[in-house]
Structure 1
Amino acid sequence: MVVEPLNKFETTDNKSRHMTRNPNLTAPWIQQESMPELRRIRCVITADEVLLLNSLDSYVFQYAAELQRRLLQRAEGDELPFEFRALELALEAACSFLDAQAAELEIEAYPLLDELTSKISTLNLERVRRLKSRLVALTRRVQKVRDEIEQLMDDDGDMAEMYLTEKKMRMESSSVFGDQSLATFNAAAAGTSVSAPVSPVSSPTESRKLEKTYSLCRSRHDSVKSSDNSVTEHIEELEMLLEAYFVVIDSTLNKLTSLKEYIDDTEDFINIQLDNVRNQLIQFELLLTTATFVVAIFGVVAGVFGMNFETDVFSIQNAFQWVLIITGVVGAFIFCFFVWFFKYKRLMPL
């Protein structure tokens, strides 16, 4: 699809690999990293037209229609050339699309993370894992757009080369003047015959014509160089345009960074909770092992007296009951001693 400044657009069958061979693309500026990260709009901006790939996509038609509307409703005093209007709309679409995705991700993420902190389950963990994958992919795309805009802003030469309309006008005027100068030079050279004798009167006149022609050529060349320098010096409007959308995309990146930090904090909180539960299980296992040891001592004493051998203890009334009572008291004392030792060593909470 081709969008031109004359408020019309048409669909073509040009492939992206054939665009660089098109002779109609005069001094194109091809930017393939800032806008194409949307994966829906890919464009090649020239001084005369905007070439949009994937013309069957409805999003591409919306971009073309919005660009036409803005070209028709050009505000008074707005001196932005065509390529900057197309670039501005592309950046606006990119930043708006990415910011909308970031806002949608925030709306979905924060309630889910709050639910996960209160109820840790396999389902919630799986939902957070998918959410984090989407966050990483979106952050990568936003970071890509931000880096491309920052790279353009850091290089004044690249920004100067993006003034395609002025560059094309200078090239056309330079070409026309060069043809005129060449024709004048040929006419002056043809007027002087090589075989005929040169008159002393006419010779200074022809020489002055040639000097004048060379002087005009030099002045035109100097004017072209000075114009290039002036373009390099006057890039404030493009810099302001890029800076405005750099602030927008940087704000979107900050939102995603804050969301990632919140997810990391939630993961740390969950890990702390899991560690706490694990510690409680270890403490319970420690108490259970200690109690098992005490019961084993009691069982050993009862087992010893349960053997079939003669002893005077059985002749005393209630003697075996006292043995059991003393064994139980000793076992309880041993258990309390172990509990105190665990607390002393800070193996259990006080």
Structure 2
Amino acid sequence: MPTDVCLPQATFSIRKKSQKKFNLMEESRYPFLPLDIRESASSRNTNRSNLDGSGSRGSGSCESSLTAELKKRGHGSRSWIKIDKNGNSKILKLDKATIMTHCCVPARDLRLLDPLFIYPSTILGREKAIVVSLEQIRCIITADEVILMNSLDECVVQYKSELCKRLQTNMDQAEDLPFEFRALELALELVCMSLDSQVKELEMEIYPVLDELATSISTLNLERVRRLKGQLLALTQRVQKIRDEIEHLMDDDGDMAEMYLTQKKQRSEAYLLSDVCAPTNTLGGTREVSNSSPVSPVGAFTRAPFLQRAVSSIMNSSKYQSSMGSSPGGENIEELEMLLEAYFVIVDNTLSKLSTV
């Protein structure tokens, strides 16, 4: 009789140990996945094994469930912070398709902002947006707003609060830089400050270890030096990439001209307005519109898409580029180049510090 009573407890203990061992195996197989995905996959695999009576089909179910979870996360909605010109911020849930349509950016640019992937720092100028991926600051800057990847990282929180503060403080004051360059400048400023502070912290940690190694060579000290050397090389590569990216932008006038989003938007709106206000006949002369003649509402609505297609084709044509120039005025490009050069000097100085460590 006592044996029958203890039997369920022994069975429960065996099942608990088996489940614990299975969880450890799953964690060793997929250490890079978040905990919630591993738990969901493990539960599905356990249920399938219990139904089948064996674990032969459990591995296939686990693989398919993991793939489904990753696909769902890659194409689902994410949390973004939208900051407008007035410094007002709002948290939104947006998917990739919505962002691609709203900002006119390709899917490959959004992959640079995906936190599931690790890409080097990049600054890309597109038709209606600037794609910024600098360390933890990952955002899309347009002529009217900044769409920032929501994160609890200190650098991201500081960027959001500081940008809103600057925009609200200087709302009634005339600014020399357009909105997109003010947002880009703040991203460069915070990243440079973060990298410089990391270099200082690494210096404070390296020098005492080297002094201790000079007095006592031991396995522990050698291991600490090896670990710090790996951190030094990784930090050097990150700083070098940002330096190369800024230098690449300064060397290409076309890339810098592509980043003038406000001017491109104003030129496009002015061209549309001039075409609507001054219609021309087939001979090229100005056509006088009679005040007494009625205006067809159908023609007014059908003309707008035609104008948009016409302006888009003209803006992309080589004739328009040659007449308007491939870039804004030389003074404006020089202004952006000076802005980039200032932060290039800062990053280059940080890189020099790393080379002397």
Same topology, TM > 0.5? yes
Report which of the two has the higher share of strand: 2
Q: Does 1:13 align with 2:88?
A: no
The code of the aligned residue for 1:147 comes to D
Aligned to 1:306: none
Deviation for aligned residue 1:222: 7.6
Aligned to 1:116: 213
Alpha-carbon separation, structure 2, partners of 1:58 and 1:112: 28
Aligned to 2:246: 149
- Gap runs ≥5 in structure 2: 1-80, 106-125, 291-313
* Match 2:163 to one of 44, 58, 67: 67
Q: Which has the higher contact order (CA 8 A, sep 6+)?
A: 1
Aligned to 1:42: 138
Q: Secondary structure at the match of 2:140?
A: strand
Aligned to 2:177: 80
Alpha-carbon separation, structure 2, partners of 1:171 and 1:140: 40
Residues 231 and 17 (structure 1), Cα distance of their counterparts in 2 relative to 1, 3 Å cut: farther
Q: Does 1:177 align with 2:274?
A: yes
Q: Does 1:242 align with 2:322?
A: no
Q: Does 1:257 align with 2:349?
A: no
Q: Is the 8 A contact 1:11 1:55 kept in 2?
A: no
Q: Does 1:164 align with 2:272?
A: no
Deviation for aligned residue 1:58: 5.2
Alpha-carbon separation, structure 1, partners of 2:93 and 2:82: 10
Q: Is the 8 A contact 2:254 2:327 kept in 1?
A: no
Deviation for aligned residue 1:185: 3.7
Aligned to 1:96: 193
Equivalence map 1:1-350=2 (5 Å): 1-16=81-96, 18-22=98-102, 27-33=127-133, 35=134, 38=135, 40-57=136-153, 59-74=155-170, 78-182=175-279, 185=281, 188=287, 225-226=323-324, 229-232=327-330, 234-259=332-357
Q: Is the 8 A contact 1:157 1:232 kept in 2?
A: no
Q: Secondary structure at the match of 2:92?
A: coil
Residues 231 and 15 (structure 1), Cα distance of their counterparts in 2 relative to 1, 3 Å cut: farther
Deviations 1:77-110 (A, max 9, x none): 6411111110110000110111110110011001
Q: Secondary structure at the match of 1:234?
A: helix
Residues 57 and 114 (structure 1), Cα distance of their counterparts in 2 relative to 1, 3 Å cut: closer
Q: Is the 8 A contact 1:2 1:9 kept in 2?
A: yes
Residues 177 and 61 (structure 1), Cα distance of their counterparts in 2 relative to 1, 3 Å cut: same
- Gap runs ≥5 in structure 1: 192-216, 260-350
Alpha-carbon separation, structure 2, partners of 1:48 and 1:24: 14
Deviation for aligned residue 1:54: 2.5
Q: Secondary structure at the match of 2:83?
A: strand
Report which of the two has the higher share of helix: 1
Alpha-carbon separation, structure 2, partners of 1:224 and 1:81: 24
Q: Is the 8 A contact 1:160 1:232 kept in 2?
A: no
Q: Is the 8 A contact 2:140 2:147 kept in 1?
A: yes
Alpha-carbon separation, structure 2, partners of 1:229 and 1:23: 21
Alpha-carbon separation, structure 1, partners of 2:322 and 2:164: 32
Deviation for aligned residue 1:156: 1.1
Alpha-carbon separation, structure 1, partners of 2:216 and 2:334: 54
Alpha-carbon separation, structure 2, partners of 1:145 and 1:23: 24
Aligned-pair Cα RMSD in Å? 3.1
TM-score by length of 1: 0.58
Q: Is the 8 A contact 2:137 2:156 kept in 1?
A: yes
TM-score by length of 2: 0.57
Q: Is the 8 A contact 1:156 1:232 kept in 2?
A: no
Q: Is the 8 A contact 1:160 1:231 kept in 2?
A: no
Alpha-carbon separation, structure 2, partners of 1:17 and 1:256: 41
Figure out how many residues of one structure are paired with residues of the other and give that number. 226
Aligned to 2:73: none
Deviations 1:199-226 (A, max 9, x none): xxxxxxxxxxxxxxxxxx9xxx989944
Residues 18 and 57 (structure 1), Cα distance of their counterparts in 2 relative to 1, 3 Å cut: farther
Deviation for aligned residue 1:118: 1.4
Query: What fraction of aligned residue pairs are identical, expressed as a percent?
Result: 50
Alpha-carbon separation, structure 2, partners of 1:131 and 1:115: 14
The code of the aligned residue for 2:100 comes to T
Q: Is the 8 A contact 1:27 1:168 kept in 2?
A: no
Residues 15 and 148 (structure 1), Cα distance of their counterparts in 2 relative to 1, 3 Å cut: farther
